Amino acid sequence: MADDAERRGESVPVEGSRRDPEKESIIFTKLKNGSYKIYELEKEFPPLDAIRLRRAFIEQETGTTLENVGIFSIDIERVVKRNCENMIGTVQVPVGVAGPLIVAGEYAQGSFYLPLATTEGALVASVNRGCSAISQAGGAHARILHDGMTRAPVFAVDSIVHARQVADWVSAHRDDLRAAAESTTSHGKMTDVVTYIAGTSVFVRIEFDTKDAMGMNMVTIASAKVAELIAQGTGARLIALSGNMCTDKKPAVINGIMGRGRSVVAGIALSHENISQILKTDAKSLFEVNYRKNLVGSARAGSMGFNAHAANIVAAMFIACGQDAAHAIDGSTCITTVDLTDSGVYISVTLPSLPVGTVGGGTGLETQQECLRILGVAGGGNPPGTNAKKFAEIVGVGVLAGEISLLGALAAQHLARAHQQLGRG
């Protein structure tokens, strides 16, 4: 482990190099007048030097001290090449754990501690209570319903007749398109292609099995090859490699219906005793809160998600485990249901669009790797794809735990009290 000075980039132990104040002053002058670009520092200096110089320049320009931003333990040699441009340091997010959580999935089986990165007081405590309810009930079931990452290029055509011809051509040449897509990757497999027409715009939604990767880079590169073939074969003009029918990082009904990433369901039966002892409420109250809040309230608001706070758990686990945090929007399309039973309630969550991976992107960063290892899902699975599916099932049951706890707090009228005790500082 490097000492603090090295982590800040204060010392430069690369090939015996030393700080040169005069040279730094010249560089700062060039950065300020625009003759030297801030992104060019890595071309001339080792990553630690480049980060330190860039941070010092920003400090000078903004009159801000970035002492804490400049402390990090991750391998920045990798980060500056794959994860972040113009790096000046890192922002630390507290990570708590909730659990143990018992999961009975097809891929995730056993007891897990959930790493949750958040600055929202009461969130980890809430999920932890949901974990207790689930574990006391013997564990929650989880299943993957669908698995496929999408990209949807948009083409311009001459007329609606031409649009139909393009759609027919795509349907007739699926095997050719699949071969073109899979020529770009040794891991991904094209599993489906569907066309949608809106006047003279044709959208081709291509779906891939990306194994243990979340897969956006993989499917983008493969879709470019597919789009090239479609344009050559039909005369349609490729307008954009993403036409928003994918749909990526935006609320979209199509993701809720068709699925995107891993589509996950999780559910559990809670007894009257469990509800009373842990949640301090009763089955009927849980049912009514879910019905009037999550279902009727969400419908009246025009929401695309029918849940209490699914995005909270998705975002916290995504940040901790190196996922793309913007995809928390997909997790918010979750539907939470509560069914009354003779013995209590059956509570379930359905997350149709959960883009997760255990290789690539931010999963390779040391701190995020450690969180993935807590769950036993770091790296590629054997066979490929099983780690990502396991991770998706765990996230699904984590969301279930969060929903159970918040519904219980609302039903027992404890929400304000909990935030007053844990959410203020």
Say if residue 159 is exposed, middle or buried (CB neighbours under 10 Å; 0-12, 13-18, 19+): exposed
173 is catalytic: no
Active-site option among 24, 42, 120, 288: 120
- Locate all alpha helices (DSSP H) within 262-309, ordered by sequence: 272-274, 283-289, 298-301
Catalytic residue among 146, 162, 272, 419: 419
Counting other chains too, the contacts that 249-256 makes at CB distance below 8 Å and 24 or more residues apart are 249/324, 249/326, 249/327, 249/329, 249/330, 250/329, 251/304, 251/329, 251/332, 251/333, 252/304, 253/304, 254/205, 255/330, 255/333, 255/352, 255/353, 256/304, 256/333, 256/352, 256/353
Q: Say how far residue 423 (Cα) sits from the centre of its chain.
A: 25
CA separation for the pair 402, 282 (Å, rounded): 17
> Is 419 one of the catalytic residues?
yes
Q: Which helix (DSSP H) or strand (DSSP E) does residue 141 occupy?
A: strand 140-151
Phi, psi of 236 (to 5 degrees): -70, 145
Helix axes 174-182, 160-172, angle to 10 degrees: 70
Q: Which residue type occupies 170?
A: V
The reply to whether 141 belongs to the active site is no
Catalytic residue among 212, 248, 324, 330: 324
Catalytic positions are 120, 324, 419
